[in-house]
Structure 1
């Protein structure tokens, strides 16, 4: 379902949205509406999670948009929304009761079941950061990179995924799918990264090595036998990856010419 351009100049619409937000976990910043292109931003005071809400008019219908792919829209009331929106997913809701129910379900899911999301943390941190100059945009990029590194450090226990090296100065937060080719979510997704010692990071970044979906090492014929021996010390190499790494690893293999066989 899609709706016409939202009516974002109505005080009555904001009152309804604010009440639904306050009752269902999205308390932060309700003293002053934050509106962009007809979408009201709602933020939680207890988690960095945020959503956007818009309305066709006073009394609805309502549209809820969010950017957390771990939330299955099918568990929410309403129907899929396919129109333009600020998030990755959307639900069209026929009543304020449905809007409140959707907000409540999302809030409790995020609080009780889902681990902290680097992307939501980035959205929250970047919310108050202007992006009108090159310096300001660079500051946002550095914020994203810092959050990515923090979550990657936590995921890999501040240890190289291959060698076990823990010297921070030798460790690199290596994107699997390159930054330039990734969307905002992928840029900070912990599954789009490996924490690697500098030599392994260089080999991986240049596509001289890659990994199967099971984490088994794949070596490019472009890598010399000597370099392979130095990297592996003659031992089998595997990386402990999850299912979430698989699409990024596939992208890396295809990007660097590793044949897709039984990976």
Structure 2
């Protein structure tokens, strides 16, 4: 099955024969993803590949017994352009996708991803979440709540560490007054984004309330933006007349743009 490199493949359908899974299983086993290969785990046409040495997960879809194949994973720190194949932008379970046309390319892609996950990159909050919830059932409401609480706990731990257990604006360290605030709302975030430390600010309660209501936001560089809905008295109380700048990184930028867009701050603050 040959397609132009810029074509968007349709949603994957796993091959009905055993050959497709055998090839994927062999590529996975040889390149670090050898956990649970005795029985394929398939979600909406994607084979789930796992490792015993890292919670990192990769999904692979086969478009026939001789390919092409598509890999999908959630880790923006991995530059997909260093992987063999071409970019895949169709429907997929992860945030990033790569299409390969040979088993050699499939194995090489898995090998590079495994190397990054185990050697190059420190474990992410998302990997920690996957590890903590892998065996947790989610058939009842109580079980789903348990998974949500696990995610929120991991998010708070990583946010505390990132911001040195202090308000990103005031430096306040009284834990009872600090809130782990999502920049992009929880309900609108993917599983990766829900626990991504760059999708959060550790803020004291008053600043958190202003940010959550969209009365303030920040530029990509961390400069304070104030909504006209906020009174001058409130501005004075919050800032004491100081210029407020929060140390942001490139990782925060897409979340900040989402926040500004949701609350009407426009696009002239990048």
Identify the TM-score tier after normalising by the shorter chain. Answer: 0.7 to 0.9
Distance 1:83 1:233 in 2: 49
Say if 1:8 and 1:83 are closer, same or farther in 2 by CA, change over 3 A.
farther
Uncovered stretches (5+) of structure 1, i.e. residues with no partner: none
- 2:118 equivalent among 83, 93, 111: 111
Distance 1:243 1:83 in 2: 25
Distance 2:235 2:89 in 1: 49
Q: Give the secondary-structure state (helix, strand or coil) at the position aligned to 1:222.
A: coil
Distance 1:201 1:82 in 2: 35
Within a 5 Å distance, the mapping from 1:60-71 to structure 2 comes to: 60-71=67-78
The corresponding residue for 1:189 is 196
The corresponding residue for 2:46 is 39
Distance 2:88 2:267 in 1: 35
Does residue 210 in structure 1 map to residue 217 in structure 2? yes
Distance 2:208 2:170 in 1: 11
The corresponding residue for 2:15 is 7
The corresponding residue for 2:180 is 173
8 Å contact kept, 1:8–1:38 = no
The corresponding residue for 1:135 is 142
Does residue 226 in structure 1 map to residue 228 in structure 2? no
8 Å contact kept, 1:66–1:89 = yes
1:8 positional shift? 5.5
Distance 1:247 1:254 in 2: 11
The corresponding residue for 2:34 is 27
Uncovered stretches (5+) of structure 2, i.e. residues with no partner: 1-6
Distance 1:261 1:58 in 2: 50
1:109-144 Cα shifts (integer Å, max 9, x gaps): 223333322223333433333333322222222222
Does residue 198 in structure 1 map to residue 196 in structure 2? no
TM-score by length of 1: 0.87
Structure 1 runs of 4+ with >6 Å offset:
none
Distance 1:197 1:235 in 2: 17
Aligned CA-pair RMSD: 2.3
8 Å contact kept, 1:50–1:124 = no
- 1:145 equivalent among 136, 144, 152: 152
TM-score by length of 2: 0.85
1:198-257 Cα shifts (integer Å, max 9, x gaps): 111111111222222221222223323332222223322211111221222222223223
8 Å contact kept, 2:33–2:50 = yes
8 Å contact kept, 2:13–2:61 = no
Distance 1:184 1:194 in 2: 18
The corresponding residue for 2:57 is 50
Say if 1:14 and 1:171 are closer, same or farther in 2 by CA, change over 3 A.
same
